[in-house]
Structure 1
Amino acid sequence: MRHALPLALAALFLGGCASHKPEDYNGTWINQAAIDAAAKGGSLRQALAAHGPVFEWKLDVSRQHASYSNGFEAADGNLSAAEKHWQASFEGGQVEQLELDGDELNVTGQAGQQQTFVKSSPPASADAPLGSSFEKALYQSYLKGDWKIVEGQGQGAVVRFADNGSVSGLPGPDRYALCLTGDCANMGGANDTLWLERNQRGAPFVFKRDGDRLEIFQAVNRAQADEMPQLAPGARQWLLERS
C-alpha cells in the first residue's frame, strides 16, 4: 500500500484500539497449529493441508515490509496501518489483515479465512531465509528423538533427523528434506514424500508415519515420460521405530 501512514502517526492512530506497539509486530511468525497437528504422528500432508496455506510470516514495521511463505512460494508486500489493525498488501490486489491477540498474530484474508501464528522461538536471524523457521520447528517436532532401524539395511542402527536437514544412522544418505507443498509434495499425490541424498545426489522416497513407527518406501513413478511424476510406494526400504 503506497500511501501508508508514517510510523509515528500510525502508532498514535492505533493507540486507542490496541495495547500493542507497532514494533510488537516485528519478527518471524510461524504456523504452530500446523506443527502441532503434524506432531501427533499421522500424515504430514493432511496436517499441513488442514492448517495451511501459509506457514510463515516475516514483518518489519520500520521498513513497512511484509512477506509470507506457503512452504513452496513466497510473496513480498507492503505493511501499513489500517483502522484497528495492520494490513499487508500484495500485487494483484491481495490484502491480508493482521492483528495481535496477546502473543498470537491473527491473519484474515479477503475471503474471511483466518490463520493464527506465533513468534519463532528462538527469534530468527535477520538473514534467515523466509520459511526456514517454520521448517526447522516442524523438523524438530515431527522427527525428533532416536529412531531405530527395525527392518532394512543397517538394522539395529539408531537414526537421528536433525532440524537443519542432516540425518545420521541411515546407510547412505546424510541429508533429508520433507516435501511440504508445491511440486515436491504434489508428485506424491496422497502420499507423504521426502528427499534423501548424499554429496548432492539423491532421490525421492515415499514414507508413512504412524505414531512412533516410520516406514520409508522406494518411490515408483507411475506417470508417463511426458507427464509430471506420480510417485507411489514401492518396496519398503526401512522400518523405523522411535524409542
Structure 2
Amino acid sequence: MRKALPLALAALLLGGCASHKPEDYNGTWINQAAIDAAAEGGSLRHALRAHGPVFEWKLDVARQQASFSNGFEAGDGQLSAVGDEWEARFERNYIERIKLSGKALQVTDPNGKQQDFVKPEQPAPADAPLGGSFEKALYKAYLGGEWKIVEGQGSGGVVRFADNGSVTGLPGPDRYALCLEGDCATMGGENDTLWLERNQRGGPFIFKREGDKLEIFRAVNTALPDEIPQLTPGPRQWVLERS
C-alpha cells in the first residue's frame, strides 16, 4: 500500500505533463487578461497598456505561420518547433517563444515578458481582419448591455453598442470603434478615444468611463496645422449610464 500511492501520484503527474499535439496550437488566441481589466470599468488605455502589447495571435502549424496583432499593426512570422516548444520568427530575427500550459497559450518575448492567451468563446467571422476576435470580445465586455442617455441629445433614450462595431440609439452615428493603439489612440494622450461615424463620415471623440457611467466629449485639437493632432476633451456631448 505504501508503494501504491507514490506510483499513482507519479502516473498522475506524468499524465498532466503529457505533450500537446501540434494541432492544439492552431487557431486564434486572445488576450483575456486585457479584456478582464478593461471590463472593470475604468480607463481603457490603462488596462490595455498594463496587459499589452499584443492582443491576439493566430497560429497555423501546417503552414508554419504565426501572426499577431497589437490593436493597430499586424506581424507575420514563421512558426517552427524547437524541442517541446515552438517559436515564431519575425523580421530582423525577432523571436517569440510559444508553448501551451493547460488551455492557455503562453508567449514569451526576447526580454522575458510573458503573456497568456486563450481561445475566444465567439471568434470573429473568418473574413475578419487579424485582431477582430479580440475586438469583438472587448467590445462586448466593455460596452455591452443597455446604456441610458441621461444628459445630451436624445436624453432618455437607450443606446446599445454591438460587438460588431454598430451602435443604435445614439443620435447621429451608427458605427463606432474604440481606439486601441496607433494614431487614433495616441492623439488623445492619456485620454481614451473612440471613433463615431455615419455613412462612413465621422471623427474622434474623447470618453471617460467610471463604472456604469460613460461620458463622451467632443474632441478639440490643440495642435498647430503642421503638427500631429493633439486631442483634449471639449464640450460634453452625452452622459450614459448602464442599466
Q: TM-score, normalised by structure 2?
A: 0.91
**Matched residues in 1 for 2:217 and 2:89: separation?**
43
Residue 232 (1) aligns with residue 241 (2): no
Unaligned segments of structure 1, at least 5 residues: 1-16
Question: How far is 1:105 from its partner?
Answer: 0.3
For the Cα contact (< 8 Å) 1:42–1:210, is it kept in 2? yes
**Matched residues in 1 for 2:124 and 2:145: separation?**
23
For the Cα contact (< 8 Å) 1:213–1:241, is it kept in 2? yes
For the Cα contact (< 8 Å) 2:122–2:137, is it kept in 1? no
Taking the TM superposition and a 5 Å limit, the aligned residue runs for 1:112-151 are 112-151=112-151
**Matched residues in 2 for 1:125 and 1:197: separation?**
22
Deviations 1:55-89 (A, max 9, x none): 00000000010000000000000000002201100
Question: How far is 1:197 from its partner?
Answer: 0.4
For the Cα contact (< 8 Å) 2:143–2:161, is it kept in 1? yes
**Matched residues in 2 for 1:72 and 1:98: separation?**
22
Unaligned segments of structure 2, at least 5 residues: 1-16
The alpha-carbon distance between structure 1 residues 125 and 216, as it changes in their structure 2 partners (threshold 3 A), is closer
From the CA coordinates, give the structure whose radius of gyration is larger: 2
1:34 aligned residue: 34
Larger mean CA deviation between 206-215 and 80-89 belongs to 80-89
For the Cα contact (< 8 Å) 2:206–2:233, is it kept in 1? yes
* Secondary structure of 1:46 counterpart: helix
Taking the TM superposition and a 5 Å limit, the aligned residue runs for 1:82-231 are 82-231=82-231
**Matched residues in 1 for 2:37 and 2:114: separation?**
17
1:6 aligned residue: none
Identity %: 75
**Matched residues in 2 for 1:240 and 1:111: separation?**
42
**Matched residues in 1 for 2:122 and 2:143: separation?**
19
2:241 aligned residue: 241
For the Cα contact (< 8 Å) 1:18–1:84, is it kept in 2? no
**Matched residues in 1 for 2:123 and 2:31: separation?**
14
Question: How far is 1:129 from its partner?
Answer: 1.4
2:8 aligned residue: none
1:21 aligned residue: 21
For the Cα contact (< 8 Å) 1:96–1:110, is it kept in 2? yes
The alpha-carbon distance between structure 1 residues 130 and 115, as it changes in their structure 2 partners (threshold 3 A), is same
For the Cα contact (< 8 Å) 1:27–1:124, is it kept in 2? no
For the Cα contact (< 8 Å) 1:149–1:158, is it kept in 2? yes
**Matched residues in 1 for 2:111 and 2:224: separation?**
38
Deviations 1:82-132 (A, max 9, x none): 022011000111000000000000000111011000012234554331000
The AA in structure 2 aligned to 1:23 is: E
For the Cα contact (< 8 Å) 1:28–1:124, is it kept in 2? no
The alpha-carbon distance between structure 1 residues 164 and 124, as it changes in their structure 2 partners (threshold 3 A), is closer
Aligned length: 227
**Matched residues in 1 for 2:120 and 2:20: separation?**
18
1:62 aligned residue: 62
Question: How far is 1:214 from its partner?
Answer: 0.1
**Matched residues in 2 for 1:37 and 1:142: separation?**
10
1:80 aligned residue: 80
1:48 aligned residue: 48
**Matched residues in 2 for 1:218 and 1:125: separation?**
32
**Matched residues in 2 for 1:64 and 1:181: separation?**
27
For the Cα contact (< 8 Å) 1:193–1:206, is it kept in 2? yes
Question: How far is 1:203 from its partner?
Answer: 1.1
